[in-house]
Amino acid sequence: MAYEAIIWEVSDGLGRLTLNRPESLNAWTAELGSQLKQVIESEATDPAVRAVLITGSGRGFSSGADLKGSFDAAEDGLPDVRKRLLDVYHPIIVGTRRLEKPVVAAVNGPAVGIGCSLALACDLVVAAESAFFSLAFVNIGLMPDGGSTLFVPAAVGKARAFQMALLGERIPAAKALEWGLVNEVHADEDLAGRAEELGARLAAGPTRSYASAKLALNRMIYPDLDAQLELEAELQHSLARSEDFAEGVSAFMTKRDPAFRGT
Protein backbone atom coordinates (compact mmCIF):
# COMPACT_ATOMS: atom_id res chain seq x y z
CA MET A 1 0.00 0.00 0.00
CA ALA A 2 1.29 3.47 -0.89
CA TYR A 3 1.44 6.05 1.90
CA GLU A 4 2.14 9.78 1.93
CA ALA A 5 2.69 10.69 5.58
CA ILE A 6 4.88 7.67 6.33
CA ILE A 7 7.26 5.37 4.47
CA TRP A 8 7.05 1.59 4.96
CA GLU A 9 9.77 -0.65 3.55
CA VAL A 10 10.71 -4.27 4.21
CA SER A 11 13.89 -6.13 3.34
CA ASP A 12 15.71 -9.05 4.93
CA GLY A 13 13.04 -9.40 7.58
CA LEU A 14 13.33 -5.81 8.83
CA GLY A 15 10.38 -3.45 8.49
CA ARG A 16 11.44 0.19 8.35
CA LEU A 17 8.74 2.68 9.31
CA THR A 18 9.64 6.33 8.73
CA LEU A 19 7.42 9.23 9.76
CA ASN A 20 7.51 11.39 6.65
CA ARG A 21 6.40 14.96 7.29
CA PRO A 22 9.85 16.52 7.60
CA GLU A 23 8.61 20.07 7.00
CA SER A 24 6.81 19.90 10.37
CA LEU A 25 9.36 17.72 12.19
CA ASN A 26 6.94 14.84 11.57
CA ALA A 27 4.07 16.32 13.54
CA TRP A 28 1.07 13.99 13.79
CA THR A 29 -1.95 14.75 11.64
CA ALA A 30 -5.06 12.60 11.29
CA GLU A 31 -3.57 11.26 8.06
CA LEU A 32 -0.24 10.32 9.62
CA GLY A 33 -2.02 8.69 12.55
CA SER A 34 -4.31 6.59 10.38
CA GLN A 35 -1.44 5.45 8.16
CA LEU A 36 0.76 4.63 11.14
CA LYS A 37 -2.09 2.65 12.66
CA GLN A 38 -2.55 0.71 9.41
CA VAL A 39 1.11 -0.33 9.34
CA ILE A 40 1.31 -1.28 13.02
CA GLU A 41 -1.93 -3.28 12.97
CA SER A 42 -1.49 -4.89 9.55
CA GLU A 43 1.75 -4.78 7.57
CA ALA A 44 4.01 -5.06 10.60
CA THR A 45 2.21 -8.19 11.80
CA ASP A 46 3.27 -10.13 8.68
CA PRO A 47 5.40 -13.12 9.80
CA ALA A 48 7.91 -12.14 7.10
CA VAL A 49 8.60 -9.01 9.17
CA ARG A 50 10.79 -10.21 12.05
CA ALA A 51 11.67 -6.81 13.56
CA VAL A 52 10.55 -3.20 13.11
CA LEU A 53 12.59 0.00 13.08
CA ILE A 54 10.80 3.34 13.57
CA THR A 55 12.43 6.70 12.84
CA GLY A 56 11.64 10.12 11.41
CA SER A 57 12.62 11.77 8.16
CA GLY A 58 14.59 14.99 8.15
CA ARG A 59 15.73 16.67 11.36
CA GLY A 60 13.38 15.11 13.87
CA PHE A 61 11.68 11.99 15.16
CA SER A 62 8.35 13.70 15.86
CA SER A 63 7.37 17.09 17.26
CA GLY A 64 4.05 15.74 18.56
CA ALA A 65 0.50 16.49 17.48
CA ASP A 66 0.11 19.06 14.71
CA LEU A 67 -1.70 21.90 16.47
CA LYS A 68 -2.49 23.53 13.13
CA GLY A 69 -4.75 20.60 12.36
CA SER A 70 -8.15 20.11 13.95
CA PHE A 71 -9.70 17.42 16.08
CA ASP A 72 -13.10 16.05 15.22
CA ALA A 73 -15.82 17.98 17.03
CA ALA A 74 -18.07 16.31 19.57
CA GLU A 75 -21.81 16.95 19.66
CA ASP A 76 -21.27 20.14 21.67
CA GLY A 77 -18.82 21.48 19.08
CA LEU A 78 -15.76 21.21 21.33
CA PRO A 79 -12.74 19.06 20.42
CA ASP A 80 -13.36 15.33 20.69
CA VAL A 81 -9.87 14.38 21.86
CA ARG A 82 -11.18 11.17 23.38
CA LYS A 83 -12.19 9.90 19.95
CA ARG A 84 -8.77 10.63 18.40
CA LEU A 85 -7.00 8.92 21.30
CA LEU A 86 -9.23 5.85 21.39
CA ASP A 87 -9.58 5.39 17.64
CA VAL A 88 -6.08 6.26 16.43
CA TYR A 89 -3.39 6.94 19.00
CA HIS A 90 -4.09 4.14 21.43
CA PRO A 91 -4.20 1.35 18.81
CA ILE A 92 -0.76 2.51 17.66
CA ILE A 93 0.71 2.47 21.16
CA VAL A 94 -0.94 -0.81 22.17
CA GLY A 95 -0.09 -2.37 18.82
CA THR A 96 3.57 -1.43 19.24
CA ARG A 97 3.75 -2.88 22.73
CA ARG A 98 1.94 -6.10 21.76
CA LEU A 99 3.56 -6.66 18.39
CA GLU A 100 5.10 -10.12 18.64
CA LYS A 101 8.51 -8.96 17.46
CA PRO A 102 11.09 -6.40 18.60
CA VAL A 103 10.45 -2.74 17.81
CA VAL A 104 13.37 -0.28 17.80
CA ALA A 105 13.04 3.51 17.84
CA ALA A 106 15.87 5.47 16.21
CA VAL A 107 15.33 8.96 17.60
CA ASN A 108 17.12 11.30 15.22
CA GLY A 109 15.99 14.63 16.70
CA PRO A 110 13.14 16.01 18.82
CA ALA A 111 10.73 13.44 20.29
CA VAL A 112 7.99 15.60 21.77
CA GLY A 113 4.48 14.94 23.08
CA ILE A 114 2.93 11.94 21.32
CA GLY A 115 6.24 11.60 19.46
CA CYS A 116 7.94 11.00 22.79
CA SER A 117 5.21 8.53 23.74
CA LEU A 118 5.72 6.57 20.51
CA ALA A 119 9.49 6.36 21.04
CA LEU A 120 9.06 5.15 24.62
CA ALA A 121 6.47 2.58 23.53
CA CYS A 122 9.19 0.82 21.53
CA ASP A 123 11.22 -2.03 23.03
CA LEU A 124 14.65 -0.49 22.44
CA VAL A 125 15.46 3.19 21.92
CA VAL A 126 18.65 4.48 20.31
CA ALA A 127 19.14 8.22 19.99
CA ALA A 128 21.33 10.74 18.22
CA GLU A 129 23.43 13.07 20.34
CA SER A 130 21.30 15.99 19.15
CA ALA A 131 18.02 14.28 20.06
CA PHE A 132 15.89 15.32 23.01
CA PHE A 133 12.72 14.09 24.69
CA SER A 134 9.94 16.24 26.09
CA LEU A 135 6.49 15.75 27.57
CA ALA A 136 5.59 19.24 26.39
CA PHE A 137 1.85 18.73 26.88
CA VAL A 138 1.84 20.96 29.97
CA ASN A 139 3.04 23.91 27.88
CA ILE A 140 -0.37 24.06 26.20
CA GLY A 141 -2.45 23.13 29.23
CA LEU A 142 -2.67 19.39 28.62
CA MET A 143 -1.28 16.29 30.35
CA PRO A 144 0.93 13.48 29.00
CA ASP A 145 -0.91 10.88 26.95
CA GLY A 146 -0.10 8.03 24.58
CA GLY A 147 0.89 5.90 27.58
CA SER A 148 3.59 8.29 28.80
CA THR A 149 2.14 8.34 32.32
CA LEU A 150 3.04 4.64 32.41
CA PHE A 151 6.16 4.38 30.24
CA VAL A 152 8.03 7.30 31.83
CA PRO A 153 7.75 6.42 35.54
CA ALA A 154 8.51 2.78 34.73
CA ALA A 155 11.76 3.94 33.14
CA VAL A 156 12.90 6.83 35.33
CA GLY A 157 11.01 6.69 38.64
CA LYS A 158 8.72 9.08 40.48
CA ALA A 159 10.90 12.19 40.86
CA ARG A 160 11.99 12.38 37.23
CA ALA A 161 8.55 11.44 35.91
CA PHE A 162 6.97 14.34 37.77
CA GLN A 163 9.77 16.61 36.57
CA MET A 164 9.07 15.69 32.94
CA ALA A 165 5.28 15.87 33.28
CA LEU A 166 4.98 19.09 35.27
CA LEU A 167 7.85 21.13 33.82
CA GLY A 168 7.73 19.98 30.21
CA GLU A 169 11.46 20.49 29.85
CA ARG A 170 13.71 19.07 27.18
CA ILE A 171 15.67 16.01 28.27
CA PRO A 172 18.81 15.89 26.11
CA ALA A 173 19.95 12.51 24.78
CA ALA A 174 22.86 12.23 27.22
CA LYS A 175 20.56 12.82 30.20
CA ALA A 176 17.95 10.46 28.72
CA LEU A 177 20.62 7.75 28.67
CA GLU A 178 21.63 8.51 32.25
CA TRP A 179 17.99 8.40 33.35
CA GLY A 180 17.18 5.15 31.54
CA LEU A 181 14.83 6.55 28.91
CA VAL A 182 17.05 5.25 26.09
CA ASN A 183 19.43 2.33 25.55
CA GLU A 184 22.16 3.98 23.48
CA VAL A 185 23.30 7.39 22.24
CA HIS A 186 25.38 7.82 19.09
CA ALA A 187 26.86 10.65 17.09
CA ASP A 188 24.27 12.02 14.68
CA GLU A 189 26.10 10.69 11.64
CA ASP A 190 26.35 7.20 13.18
CA LEU A 191 22.75 6.76 14.35
CA ALA A 192 21.22 5.39 11.14
CA GLY A 193 23.98 2.82 10.70
CA ARG A 194 23.74 1.64 14.32
CA ALA A 195 19.95 1.43 14.11
CA GLU A 196 20.19 -0.66 10.93
CA GLU A 197 22.76 -2.92 12.56
CA LEU A 198 20.56 -3.45 15.60
CA GLY A 199 17.46 -4.00 13.47
CA ALA A 200 19.26 -6.55 11.30
CA ARG A 201 20.49 -8.42 14.38
CA LEU A 202 16.98 -8.65 15.78
CA ALA A 203 15.48 -9.62 12.41
CA ALA A 204 17.93 -12.53 12.24
CA GLY A 205 17.30 -13.60 15.84
CA PRO A 206 14.91 -16.07 17.53
CA THR A 207 11.56 -14.40 16.88
CA ARG A 208 9.56 -16.67 19.19
CA SER A 209 12.03 -16.05 22.00
CA TYR A 210 11.68 -12.30 21.55
CA ALA A 211 7.89 -12.53 21.45
CA SER A 212 7.74 -14.57 24.65
CA ALA A 213 10.14 -12.26 26.47
CA LYS A 214 8.13 -9.25 25.37
CA LEU A 215 4.85 -10.80 26.54
CA ALA A 216 6.26 -11.64 29.97
CA LEU A 217 7.93 -8.24 30.42
CA ASN A 218 4.76 -6.44 29.32
CA ARG A 219 2.78 -8.30 31.95
CA MET A 220 5.33 -7.45 34.64
CA ILE A 221 6.03 -3.80 33.76
CA TYR A 222 2.78 -2.63 32.10
CA PRO A 223 -0.01 -4.82 33.55
CA ASP A 224 -2.59 -1.98 33.41
CA LEU A 225 -1.74 -0.46 30.03
CA ASP A 226 -5.33 -0.48 28.74
CA ALA A 227 -6.73 1.05 31.93
CA GLN A 228 -4.03 3.71 32.01
CA LEU A 229 -4.72 4.69 28.41
CA GLU A 230 -8.43 4.96 29.16
CA LEU A 231 -7.70 7.19 32.16
CA GLU A 232 -5.43 9.41 30.06
CA ALA A 233 -8.15 9.72 27.43
CA GLU A 234 -10.79 10.84 29.93
CA LEU A 235 -8.51 13.37 31.61
CA GLN A 236 -7.13 14.71 28.33
CA HIS A 237 -10.61 15.04 26.83
CA SER A 238 -11.61 17.26 29.73
CA LEU A 239 -8.44 19.36 29.52
CA ALA A 240 -8.89 19.90 25.77
CA ARG A 241 -12.16 21.66 26.56
CA SER A 242 -10.59 24.05 29.05
CA GLU A 243 -9.83 27.73 28.64
CA ASP A 244 -6.21 27.00 29.51
CA PHE A 245 -5.87 24.70 26.50
CA ALA A 246 -7.33 27.32 24.18
CA GLU A 247 -4.92 29.87 25.64
CA GLY A 248 -1.99 27.44 25.38
CA VAL A 249 -2.62 26.76 21.70
CA SER A 250 -3.13 30.46 20.95
CA ALA A 251 0.12 31.32 22.71
CA PHE A 252 1.97 28.59 20.85
CA MET A 253 0.69 29.78 17.49
CA THR A 254 1.58 33.41 18.18
CA LYS A 255 4.92 32.56 19.83
CA ARG A 256 4.16 34.24 23.17
CA ASP A 257 4.06 33.11 26.78
CA PRO A 258 0.66 31.71 27.81
CA ALA A 259 -1.38 33.29 30.58
CA PHE A 260 -2.96 30.29 32.28
CA ARG A 261 -5.83 30.85 34.74
CA GLY A 262 -6.53 27.31 35.89
CA THR A 263 -9.89 27.28 34.13
pLDDT for the residue numbered 73 = 77
Cβ(25)–Cβ(59) below 8 Å = yes
pLDDT for the residue numbered 70 = 62
The percent of residues above 90 in pLDDT, for the chain, comes to 94
pTM of the model: 0.96
* Residue 141 clears pLDDT 90, i.e. is over it: yes
Q: Is 44 left (phi over 0), alpha (psi -120 to 50) or beta?
A: alpha
Q: What is the dihedral of CA 84, 86, 87, 92, to 10 degrees?
A: 100
Structural domains of the chain ordered from first start: 6-188 (3.90.226.10)
Instruction: For residue range 169-223, list pLDDT tens digits in order.
Output: 999 999 999 999 999 999 999 999 999 999 999 999 999 999 999 999 999 999 9
Give the Å distances, CA to CA, from 19 to 56, 60, 72, 235, 259: 5, 9, 22, 27, 33
Q: What is the mean pLDDT of residues 228-254?
A: 95
Per-residue confidence band for 79, with pLDDT thresholds at 50, 70 and 90: confident
* Residue 75 clears pLDDT 80, i.e. is over it: no
